[in-house]
């Protein structure tokens, strides 16, 4: 993997001399608005945001601001915002930032309006995204993984809440590499990565907790201090690591500790866990997972691209996935409004019965 500064790609920079390029941010929510605000700072890029009417009104009223983890602030106003996708025809590059479960309904419109040679960078969490998109559209599909969280402290203001460099699939598209260089220049570091599957698989290991956090219905920090909850997460992670090994994929590491030691750390008694895992616990005491947010907003979640993908690949490799299957089942119940709250002890018992 090459670091952001090494990759400050001259080839990409030269590509724009005297020209302007149109970048479409499709699905202008937390990630789309955050990244789009950076790109608006570059005079060679004409950034078009595609999203919901409510976001258009919010940005028209408040402007758009992005704040980095290192306290850089970028402001954009006016913002070119479209609630119809027809202007996609003008785009030279698309950053696709809808949630994974919104991709299928969007495919028809992408197919209808996007020129077939235009690269699409899919920025979702989860497994199987590029394969799914490639089945339906002819465009070159690239993947990028966002390792940090973005929150919205105020209307129109999108703030990076945790550290981490964006991981971006290595590619030869000049405009894509120009955009990477813009992010790097503005100190939003991008690491270019040859093995994007390893990056996806490693990110999933961390995202397995999103569902558990939504089910337990308590803040992340409190949840991590509950040993039964950690034991469930350790089981879910072990299932995924066994699948990765079977598939011959070495998942990229996003934490100080090697991936294979994470379940070991989670199984520690709480007093020891607290001492060793202070970095993991250095989170806002009120923070919860985005899947919890989706459940509260009565939206469909990305579960089938996360724990659901573990289940699917487990079946493929004939490996058992009782922990992830129970989590998927409970999230589906939450989505349907038929879930009855249960203690983590009961949840753990249920998983052990399934094993
Ligand atoms: N937020 C984070 O901190 C974070 C961090 C790392 C990775 N990610 C990943 O990044 C991806 C995007 O997450 P996000 O948090 O930015 O999601 P988000 O805030 O929900 O943004 C997506 C936006 O796209 C809109 N949208 C969906 N379908 C649309 C359509 N057909 N036309 C126009 N607009 C449409 C959504 O509107 P509706 O809600 O009305 O559908 C929403 O406003 C996810 O895969 C997530 O897992 C997020």
Does any ligand 1 atom lie closer than 6 A to the CB of residue 52?
Answer: yes
Q: For residue 122, report the distance from its CA to the centre of ligand 1, in Å.
A: 12
- The backbone torsions φ and ψ at residue 159, rounded to the nearest 5 degrees and listed phi first, read -125, 130
Angle at 36 between CA 192 and CA 30, to 5 degrees: 95
Indicate the average pLDDT of the chain.
Answer: 94
- From 182, 171, 186, select the one nearest 120 (Cα to Cα): 171
Indicate the domain borders of the chain. Answer: 10-194, 197-354
CA of 164 to the centre of ligand 1 (A): 19
Mind listing the pLDDT tens digit for each residue in 15-48?
556 789 999 999 999 999 999 999 999 999 999 9
Which of 28, 30, 64, 68 has the most ligand 1 atoms within 8 A of CB, as the residue to mutate? Answer: 30
Question: Which atom belonging to ligand 1 lies closest to the Cα atom of 207?
Answer: 47
For ligand 1, atom 13, the nearest C-alpha belongs to 99
Whether 321 lines ligand 1, by a CB cut-off of 6 Å, is no
Class of domain 10-194: alpha beta
Question: CB under 8 Å to 56, separation ≥6 — which residues?
Answer: 49, 81, 82, 83
Ligand 1 binding pocket includes 223 (Cβ within 6 Å): no
**Residue-level pLDDT at 313:** 98
CA pair distance 204, 237, nearest whole angstrom: 9
Rounded mean pLDDT of 214-231? Answer: 96
Helix axes 227-247, 307-316, angle to 10 degrees: 40
Q: How much distance in Å is there from the Cα of 29 to the middle of ligand 1?
A: 5
Atom 20, ligand 1: which residue's CA is nearest?
29
Q: Residue 245 and residue 247: Cα distance in Å, rounded?
A: 5
Q: Tell me which fold the domain 197-354 belongs to.
A: 1.10.1040
Of residues 66 and 284, the one with the higher pLDDT is 66
What does the block give as tokens for 124? Answer: 């979702």
Question: What per-residue confidence (pLDDT) applies to 2?
Answer: 59
Q: Distance (Å, rounded) from C-alpha 216 to C-alpha 42? A: 43
Q: What are phi and psi of 140, to 5 degrees?
A: -65, 130
Check residue 207 and give its pLDDT. 98
For residue 18, the model assigns a pLDDT of 74
């Amino acid at each position: 993997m090459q670091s952001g500064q090494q990759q400050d790609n001259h080839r990409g920079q030269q590509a724009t001399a005297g020209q302007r390029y149109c970048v479409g941010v499709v699905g202008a929510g937390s990630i789309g608005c955050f990244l789009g605000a950076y790109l608006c700072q570059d005079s060679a890029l004409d950034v078009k945001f595609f999203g919901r009417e409510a976001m258009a009104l919010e940005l028209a009223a408040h402007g758009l601001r992005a704040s980095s983890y290192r306290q850089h602030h970028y402001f954009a106003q006016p913002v070119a915002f479209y609630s119809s996708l027809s202007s996609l025809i003008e785009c030279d590059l698309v950053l696709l930032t809808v949630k994974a479960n919104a991709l299928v309904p969007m495919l028809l419109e992408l197919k209808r309006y996007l020129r077939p040679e235009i690269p699409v960078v899919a920025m979702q969490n989860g497994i199987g995204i590029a394969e799914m998109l490639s089945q339906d559209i002819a465009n070159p599909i690239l993947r990028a993984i966002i390792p940090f969280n973005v929150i919205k402290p105020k209307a129109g203001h999108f703030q990076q809440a945790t550290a981490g460099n964006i991981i971006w699939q290595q590619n030869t598209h000049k405009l894509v590499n120009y955009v990477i260089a813009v992010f790097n220049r503005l100190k939003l570091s991008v690491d270019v990565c040859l093995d994007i599957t390893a990056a996806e698989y490693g990110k999933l290991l961390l995202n397995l907790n999103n569902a558990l956090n939504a089910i337990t219905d308590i803040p992340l920090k409190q949840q991590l201090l509950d040993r039964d909850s950690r034991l469930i997460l350790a089981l879910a992670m072990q299932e995924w690591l066994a699948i990765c090994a079977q598939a011959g994929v070495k998942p990229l590491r996003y934490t100080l500790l090697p991936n294979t030691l994470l379940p070991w750390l989670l199984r520690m008694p709480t007093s020891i866990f607290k001492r060793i895992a202070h970095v993991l616990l250095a989170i806002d005491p009120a923070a919860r997972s985005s899947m919890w947010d989706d459940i509260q907003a009565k939206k469909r979640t990305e579960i089938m691209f996360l724990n659901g993908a573990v289940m699917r690949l487990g079946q493929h490799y004939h490996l058992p996935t009782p922990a992830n299957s129970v989590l998927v089942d409970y999230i589906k119940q939450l989505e349907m409004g038929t879930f009855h709250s249960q203690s983590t002890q009961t949840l753990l018992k249920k998983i052990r019965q399934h094993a």
